[in-house]
Amino acid sequence: MAQIVLTPTHLELKLTKAERIFALHGDLAIPAALVRGAEVGSADVWKTLGLRIPGTGVPMFLYYGSFWRAGKSGGWTFSLWRANHQSVVINLATGKANRFKRLVVAVEDAQTWADTINDALVSC
């Protein structure tokens, strides 16, 4: 399972070897200034991902990789979503250092991670 690391300057997402292979992506380091907040993802958050470009998807089981969705609420999403785990959705501002609007990450305790990320934003 991916590891979320909060530093004073970045939110880092460290992927396992299997996640790197399935997501066709390496670790992410998002500047802290681009993090807008976090929330617990719903069980059907996978329905909001859009078109997988590139990555791996097994319908209703796992979705790993980069996803594009058109429209006003669309944009790029990086997903490490698994059906048998809770997920935290981290909302981001896009910029030169980051193309993703959000990260969807499977974690052990989504509420704790959402609270931790939101508390880190408030304390800055």
Which residues constitute the domain of residue 113? 3-123
User: Are the C-beta atoms of residues 94 and 75 closer than 8 Å to each other?
Assistant: yes
- pTM of the complete model: 0.93
**pLDDT score recorded for residue 72:** 84
What tens digit of pLDDT does each residue of 13-44 get? Answer: 999 999 999 999 999 999 999 999 999 999 89
How many domains in the chain? 1
Which one-letter DSSP state was computed for residue 114?
A: H
**pLDDT score recorded for residue 122:** 85
Please tell me the distance from the alpha carbon of residue 15 to that of residue 60, in angstroms, as a whole number: 21
Which one-letter DSSP state was computed for residue 45?
A: G
**pLDDT score recorded for residue 124:** 61
pLDDT means over runs of 10, the chain (124 residues): 94 97 96 95 92 93 96 91 95 88 96 96 78
How buried is 107 (Cβ within 10 angstroms: 0-12 exposed, 13-18 middle, 19+ buried)? buried
Percent of the chain topping pLDDT 70: 99
The strand pairing partners of 68, in sequence order, are 51, 76
Please tell me the distance from the alpha carbon of residue 44 to that of residue 36, in angstroms, as a whole number: 22
Please tell me the distance from the alpha carbon of residue 111 to that of residue 2, in angstroms, as a whole number: 16
